[in-house]
Amino acid sequence: MSRSVRTRPEGSGQALSEAYDTALLDLDGVVYAGGNAIEHAVPSLAVARDGGMRLAYVTNNALRTPDAVAAHLTELGIPAEAGDVITSAQAVARLIADQVPQGSRVLVVGGEGLRVALRERGLEPVESADDEPVAVVQGYGGPELAWGRFAEASYAVARGLPWFASNTDLTIPSGRGIAPGNGAAVEVVRIATGAEPQVAGKPLPPMHRETILRTGAERPLVVGDRLDTDIEGAFNGGVDSLLVLTGVTDGAQLLAAPPQHRPTYVDADLRGLLTGQPEVVGDGGAFRCGGWTAAAGAGRLELDGDGAPVDGLRALCAAAWTAAGDERCGLDAGKALARLGL
């Protein structure tokens, strides 16, 4: 499916919670980090929900079951049920079930979320390469996952079994900073075997398929903090997206984003669901948003004005994304971003 090159973030005259029927929300870095709610997340989601927007929680983290995720959200003050949660474990379990006979044994390297999702699809999770599995699945197992689990997966994959991964996020946000994610663990098995897994999670089609099947969303808005999973997944699925700056993506990464990583909207946090999004207006070779004007030239991005920092970032994105060819990736944005505190 072809996509036009995005040259600037779009505007919305309506609050996003009114313009879209369902928010497909990433969790880590968007709703919570390290188990604690991110600032403004709980009240913002309450207002969006009370206004009629459906909230669905779509996560590449395969560690916990939907029941556990829903219980955690409810404890944080965000009422949720298991049916509101879609995980990469569910997506990869469907992918495996489409390729192996009902009742097949699958070697699991990961957490309880994977085991529950496999059983939901009529598959039997096992722990050893000697338990006669017909496939191997790998998902995030948390910081306590034993090194021997990677060896077990490697033995099975080296014997020629098909290998599946819930997702390949290299990092995951935590309350203490950025930690290794399932993608880092997948690399261990890849290095040991030379094999390549089939991957289900964002940004790939199996996750989008699982999400639409389970939510029935007609006008979905993907809300995430990662360009290479959340935003690219929205791009691949042909739906709009909102990037929030509460997780792993910073201003410099956003400015250098290629077309498939450019969000429809950008905001500081989940309060962005509750407002219209200001239009970024071209003005000659410059771009205006809020009280800011940005332009690209002489190998750098120039910013003038004042107002909300995120408006300045939107203007900078328009300038950077419009810059021709390789110049876009080489633009010096340091001074402009420092002025915005980003």
In the 8-state DSSP scheme, what is residue 228?
I
- Selecting among 21, 28, 50, 225, the annotated active-site residue is 28
67 among known catalytic residues: no
The helix-helix angle for 182-193 and 147-158 (nearest 10°) equals 50
Q: Provide the H-helix boundaries in 51-169.
A: 66-75, 88-97, 112-120, 147-158
**Contact of 305 with 291, CB cutoff 8 Å:** yes
- Classified as helix, coil or strand, 282 is strand
Catalytic residue, candidates 26, 169, 225, 240: 26
Angle formed at CA 59 by CA 58 and CA 63, multiple of 5 degrees: 140
Say if CB 264 and CB 233 are below 8 A apart: no
Q: What is the identity of the amino acid at 230?
A: D
Position 297, amino acid: G
User: How many whole angstroms separate alpha carbon 260 and alpha carbon 4?
Assistant: 9
26 an active-site residue? yes
Please give the Cα distance from 254 to 225 (Å, whole number).
Answer: 11
Which residues form the catalytic set?
26, 28
